[in-house]
């Protein structure tokens, strides 16, 4: 997708980009320094394409900010509002001096064995959680996306795509409503352009929506429909397992024809939560509610006696698969927290050792 700068007559205001009175107040100290507000549209490593009232431009992050960052969330992400120092010369690059307070932040554990956080998007109002109604339909994966969204601070909306490929639509919708009773659910067919009118209330001018989902669920087709043009490449889905290829290669914020802002993300083969204690409680609110009746306040709903949650499964009030996934996600978060703590201690130990060596060397000189 392209975020080419509009003509002067069509240039956007900060309000068009999602600017709010709260952001204006937070920006006041930077305004006095001669900085200008901008919103991050694309991240290219340490370089970013940002949107301002004067159009779009490239901006770099100074070495100071990279050096002081304790993790990826301390650096700009797509959707962030930043304080920008304009380029000194025509054609030069601007410099991002600070990140303004975020209203929401999507992050996950980086794919693979690396114990690191990957930031997906910031300052999102609504998350479209897209899942296919074909062979890729998976309630347990959807529960993960719900936990991610609730933890972020955004509001989830579930889109059941490929309604044209299922013969059990009512049953599948009912299954989704059972695990997310308070979340809006819309059955759509992006390929056939069906059901998309229901998304209009979420796509209001100045509001930001992120589209999340696994590879092959039809995100690119959906976004092309919302854009009103075939701007994103769409990939074929393998007939053998109904999984698609990554047709979006990076995250990007674009403006839809109606004025809403949309962040596209690459399809995710795997989604491991980074920090989602509150999100997990919200996504599994039914289990949290039943757990209040457990005999032990720290009950893990495994082998403890007088467990109300296990009794609910035995009595048919709660799905065994849902409880199993809840336990699995809790175990993942516990294991991740242990690895993060181990790495923190290792880092502190190495820093202390390096300091001692430096002091010894200095004392001998």
Within this chain, do residues 340 and 218 fall inside the same structural domain, yes or no?
A: no
State residue 249's pLDDT score. 54
Let me know: does 166 contact 154? Beta carbons within 8 Å.
Answer: no
Is the predicted pLDDT of residue 354 greater than 80, yes or no? no
Domain that holds residue 66: 8-99
Q: Of 303, 304, 301, whose CA–CA distance to 312 is shortest?
A: 301
State residue 112's pLDDT score. 75
* Structure confidence by residue, pLDDT tens digits, 181-226: 999 999 999 999 999 999 999 999 999 999 999 888 999 999 999 9
Within this chain, do residues 130 and 262 fall inside the same structural domain, yes or no?
A: yes
State residue 9's pLDDT score. 39
* Structure confidence by residue, pLDDT tens digits, 137-185: 999 999 999 999 999 999 999 999 999 999 999 999 999 999 999 999 9
Is 73 domain-assigned?
A: yes
Which pairs with CB-CB distance under 8 Å and at least 24 residues apart come from 253-256?
253/3, 253/39, 253/40, 253/41, 253/42, 253/51, 253/78, 253/79, 253/208, 254/1, 254/3, 254/41, 254/227, 255/12, 255/16, 255/17, 256/203, 256/226, 256/227
Within this chain, do residues 231 and 345 fall inside the same structural domain, yes or no?
A: no
Within this chain, do residues 68 and 109 fall inside the same structural domain, yes or no?
A: no
State residue 183's pLDDT score. 97
Is 88 domain-assigned?
A: yes
Q: Determine the average pLDDT of the residues in 92-106.
A: 95
Q: Is 188 left (phi over 0), alpha (psi -120 to 50) or beta?
A: beta
CATH of the domain at 88: 2.40.50.140
State residue 244's pLDDT score. 43
Distance of CA 305 to the CA centre of its chain: 38
Q: Of 208, 352, 333, whose CA–CA distance to 278 is shortest?
A: 333
Is 260 domain-assigned?
A: yes
Is the predicted pLDDT of residue 42 greater than 90, yes or no? yes
* Structure confidence by residue, pLDDT tens digits, 312-340: 999 999 999 999 999 999 988 988 888 87
State residue 242's pLDDT score. 44
State residue 45's pLDDT score. 83
Let me know: does 312 contact 365? Beta carbons within 8 Å.
Answer: no
Q: pLDDT over 90 for what percent of the chain?
A: 65
Q: Cβ-count burial of 227 within 10 angstroms (0-12 exposed, 13-18 middle, 19+ buried)?
A: middle
Within this chain, do residues 46 and 134 fall inside the same structural domain, yes or no?
A: no
Mean pLDDT across the chain: 88
State residue 194's pLDDT score. 95
State residue 232's pLDDT score. 52
Predicted confidence band at 229 (pLDDT cuts at 50, 70, 90)? confident
pLDDT higher for 339 or 106? 106
Q: pLDDT over 70 for what percent of the chain?
A: 90
CATH of the domain at 364: 1.10.40.50
Looking at the DSSP bridge assignments, the partners of residue 119 are: 107
Within this chain, do residues 128 and 265 fall inside the same structural domain, yes or no?
A: yes
Within this chain, do residues 136 and 213 fall inside the same structural domain, yes or no?
A: yes
* Structure confidence by residue, pLDDT tens digits, 235-291: 444 444 444 444 445 789 999 999 999 999 886 767 888 887 889 999 999 999 999
Is 191 domain-assigned?
A: yes
State residue 1's pLDDT score. 41
CATH of the domain at 232: 3.40.50.300
Predicted confidence band at 346 (pLDDT cuts at 50, 70, 90)? confident
State residue 231's pLDDT score. 61
Task: Provide the domain count of the chain.
Answer: 3
Within this chain, do residues 78 and 114 fall inside the same structural domain, yes or no?
A: no
Q: Could you count the other beta carbons within 10 Å of the beta carbon of residue 65?
A: 18
Q: Is the dihedral of CA 147, 153, 155, 158 positive or negative?
A: negative
Is the predicted pLDDT of residue 4 greater than 60, yes or no? no
Is 78 domain-assigned?
A: yes
Is 349 domain-assigned?
A: yes
Question: What is the four-CA torsion angle of 303, 307, 310, 311, rounded to 10 degrees?
Answer: 140
Question: How far are the Cα atoms of 39, 131, 219, 236 from residue 241, in angstroms, in the given order?
Answer: 39, 15, 17, 12
State residue 243's pLDDT score. 44
Distance of CA 239 to the CA centre of its chain: 29
Separation of first and last alpha carbons in the chain: 58
Q: In what order do the strands lie in the sheet with 105-109?
A: 117-122, 105-109, 272-273
Place of tokens 């175990």: 331
Is 132 domain-assigned?
A: yes
């Amino acid at each position: 997708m392209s975020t080419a700068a509009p003509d002067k007559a069509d240039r956007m205001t900060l309000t068009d980009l999602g600017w709010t009175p709260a952001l204006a107040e937070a920006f006041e100290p930077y305004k006095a320094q001669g900085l200008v507000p901008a919103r991050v549209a694309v991240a290219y490593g340490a370089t970013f394409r940002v949107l301002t009232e004067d159009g779009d431009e490239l901006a770099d992050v100074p070495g100071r900010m990279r050096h002081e960052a304790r993790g990826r969330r301390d650096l700009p992400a797509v959707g962030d509002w930043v304080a920008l120092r304009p380029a000194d010369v025509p054609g030069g690059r601007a410099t991002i001096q600070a990140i303004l307070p975020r209203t929401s932040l999507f992050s996950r554990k980086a794919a693979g064995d690396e114990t690191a956080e990957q930031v997906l998007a910031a300052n999102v109002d609504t998350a479209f959680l897209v899942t296919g109604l074909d062979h890729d339909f998976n309630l347990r994966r959807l529960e993960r996306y719900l936990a991610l969204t609730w933890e972020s601070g955004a509001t989830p909306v579930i889109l059941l795509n490929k309604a044209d490929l299922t013969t059990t639509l009512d049953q599948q919708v009912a299954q989704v409503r059972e695990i997310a009773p308070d979340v809006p659910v819309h059955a759509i067919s992006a390929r056939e352009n069906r059901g998309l009118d229901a998304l209009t209330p979420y796509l209001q001018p100045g509001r930001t929506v992120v589209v999340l989902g696994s590879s092959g669920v039809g995100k690119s087709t959906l976004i092309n429909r919302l854009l009103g043009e075939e701007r994103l490449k769409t990939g074929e889905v393998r007939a053998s397992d109904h999984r698609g290829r990554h047709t979006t290669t990076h995250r990007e914020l674009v403006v839809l024809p109606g004025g809403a802002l949309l962040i596209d993300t690459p399809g995710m083969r795997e989604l491991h939560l980074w920090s989602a204690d509150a999100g997990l409680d919200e996504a599994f609110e039914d289990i949290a509610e039943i757990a209040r009746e457990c005999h032990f306040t720290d009950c893990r709903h495994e082998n403890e006696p007088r467990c109300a949650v296990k009794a609910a499964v035995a009595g048919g009030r709660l799905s065994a698969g849902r409880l199993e996934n809840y336990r699995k996600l809790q175990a993942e978060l516990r294991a991740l927290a242990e690895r993060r703590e181990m790495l923190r201690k290792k880092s502190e130990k190495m820093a202390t050792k390096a300091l001692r060596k430096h002091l010894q060397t200095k004392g001998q000189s």
